[in-house]
Amino acid sequence: MTFFDTNVLIYFTINQDTQKFEKAQALILSAIEEDTFFISPMVLSEYIFVLGKYKLTKQHKNKVLLFSKYVESSIDSTLVVDAYEVCEEIDFCKNINDIMHLKIAERYCAKLVTFDTDFKRLQKYTNIEIEILK
């Protein structure tokens, strides 16, 4: 399974950069077709939050419903504590959500895909592949 970070879903939905839009479209559609697409409840919540900031929740309801079918995990206190321990160790708690995404991905996936270069800093703290898109 491949964990998709929130920003990949946003680029899939909102064409802010044609190259990133096309890349996100290709990767997500391919992962859905191959049945390897994975997101967490947290990613879906962040996705809806960003759509709300742009006042696009109604316009993209179909995508929210589509993505909701691929939420197959839960967030429990052990994941939060594990993320907290990493963020404290590397003084990165302002990015706790990124570490939470990583911890969820570690539990359920072999790979995490993101446009967020902050994940470079997390690579040495995990055994899964992190692909940072450009």
Domain count, the chain: 1
Mean pLDDT computed over every residue of the chain: 95
Residue 87 has pLDDT above 90, yes or no: no
Q: What is the pTM of this model?
A: 0.92
pLDDT score recorded for residue 75: 85
Q: In Å, what is the CA distance from 131 to each residue of 43, 91, 134?
A: 17, 22, 10
Q: Could you tell me the CATH number of the domain that includes residue 79? A: 3.40.50.1010
Contact (CB, 8 A) for 96 and 37 = no
**H/E run at residue 111:** strand 111-114
Which region, left, alpha or beta, applies to residue 76 given φ > 0 means left and ψ of -120 to 50 means alpha? beta
Q: Which domain holds residue 91?
A: 2-132
pLDDT digits (tens, 9 = 90+) for 2-59: 999 999 999 999 999 999 999 999 999 999 999 999 999 999 999 999 999 999 999 9
